[in-house]
Amino acid sequence: IITQIKQMSPEELSKAIPEHCNVPNDTKQPHFFTIDFGICQNEKGEIVPQLIELQAFPTLYCFQKELHNSLIQEYPFLEELRPEMSDEVYYEELKKLIVGDENPENVILLEIYPDQQKTNIDFYLTEKRLGIKPVCLTKVKKEGNKLYYENNGKLTEIKRIYNRVIFDELDHIPDLKTDFDFRDELDVKWITHPNWFFKISKYILPKLHHEFVPKSYFLNDFPQSESLANFVLKPLFSFAGSGVNLNPTQEDLAEIDDRDNYILQRKVIYAPLFKDPNNEFSKAEIRLLYIWHEDEDRPKLMEHLVRMTKAAMVNVDFNKKDAIWIGGSTAFFEKV
């Protein structure tokens, strides 16, 4: 998958960026890269991975490491499955990527209303480990082409932004007032550049080919020879499963005006492998968390997270509150 993405031209990937979301000073490659695989069964009943989504956008890089360590501390028998990369090396890699050569006070984690986000525990752990503060988009000040934030009562220049803002979602926040626009020419370095959220996304799924990549089509290219009943309808740039239609009909498709912004992806069968104490079974997805240093040719696998569910959709928003063995988790791998 990574090899195929690397072979795509910048011009091809740039077609994914909506015109109103194009941010200047794009980069050669993203700094973050995640791949979601469903743990599925094939026609023979074999357990296989199936690519569900992928995104050049950061996620819970600090929280998942702390969760891993907490489980090992609580259950000492897991010590023999501890990842080979030490905590010291892990956080040095993240610091090199996010903070670089700057003073941590000149680097911020940027989010919209960070204290209200479901992922805010990761923001606080990032501050603890890397020394960079989560800052709300509405608190950033612009002077000329430079950005500033108030740090312990002092206006401090921002030189690097660890970006956790999903740019196209800003349009859906009423009465949002900011002092700068992402599309401004700014003297700041994005980690990672906002354009990559679009370039490595569901947009490239129809362009990928592998036995573990379910066939996908842009809605406009869906062939008559295929049965719609075998496909899931997904908007290109939604997040956290919003807008996904598991059982689309021809009537649903007819109501879509912006057909270029949707794909149809072949359905996969998640394997109900994980038996809980109530003799019920959970399904799971595993997300691989990569970082991509600017001086390296390929991304580096750092961590992973697991999402478990008993619902039709594998996302915490769709889980039933009274169910067990669901939600965010992690996995341990036998060493080979």
Most confident by average pLDDT, 150-164, 228-242, 255-269, 298-312: 150-164
Q: Give the whole-angstrom CA distance, residue 35 versus residue 51.
A: 7
* Start-end of H helices in 212-300: 250-254
DSSP structural state of residue 245: B
Kindly report the number of other CB atoms within 10 A of residue 284's CB atom.
22
- The model's confidence at residue 316, banded by pLDDT at 50, 70 and 90, is low
Percentage of the chain modeled with pLDDT above 70? 96
Tell whether the model's pLDDT for residue 241 goes beyond 70. Answer: no
- The model's confidence at residue 240, banded by pLDDT at 50, 70 and 90, is low
Distance of CA 72 to the CA centre of its chain: 25
pLDDT at 242: 66
| Conformation bin of residue 100: beta by default, left when phi > 0, alpha when psi is -120 to 50 | left
Q: Give the whole-angstrom CA distance, residue 324 versus residue 264.
A: 31
Q: Give the whole-angstrom CA distance, residue 323 versus residue 95.
A: 38
Q: Report CA Rg, the chain.
A: 21
DSSP structural state of residue 305: E
pLDDT at 243: 80
* 150-167 average pLDDT score: 95
pLDDT at 87: 96
pLDDT at 308: 93
pLDDT at 321: 66
DSSP class per residue in 37-61: EEEEE-TTS-EEEEEEEEESS---H
Name the residue among 213, 214, 160, 215 with its Cα closest to residue 190. 160
Q: What is the pLDDT of residues 86-106, one digit of tens each?
A: 999 999 999 999 999 999 999
Name the residue among 300, 1, 29 with its Cα closest to residue 191. 29
Grouping H, G, I as helix, E, B as strand and the rest as coil, residue 208 is: coil
Kindly report the number of other CB atoms within 10 A of residue 6's CB atom.
11
pLDDT at 130: 98
Amino acid letter, residue 229 = A
The CATH fold of domain 83-191: Rossmann fold (3.40.50)
- The model's confidence at residue 282, banded by pLDDT at 50, 70 and 90, is very high
Q: What is the pLDDT of residues 181-229, one digit of tens each?
A: 999 999 999 999 999 999 999 999 999 999 999 999 999 999 999 999 9
Give the H/E segment covering residue 296.
Answer: none
Q: 87-98 and 120-130 helices cross at what angle (nearest 10)?
A: 100
Q: Give the whole-angstrom CA distance, residue 204 versus residue 184.
A: 27
Q: What is the pLDDT of residues 10-53, one digit of tens each?
A: 999 999 999 989 999 999 999 999 999 999 998 888 999 999 99
Domains of the chain, residue spans: 83-191
Main-chain phi, psi angles of 251, to 5 degrees: -65, -40
Amino acid letter, residue 28 = K
- The model's confidence at residue 268, banded by pLDDT at 50, 70 and 90, is very high
Q: What is the pLDDT of residues 95-143, one digit of tens each?
A: 999 999 999 999 999 999 999 999 999 999 999 999 999 999 999 999 9
Tell whether the model's pLDDT for residue 317 goes beyond 60. Answer: no
In this prediction the pTM is 0.93
- The model's confidence at residue 239, banded by pLDDT at 50, 70 and 90, is low
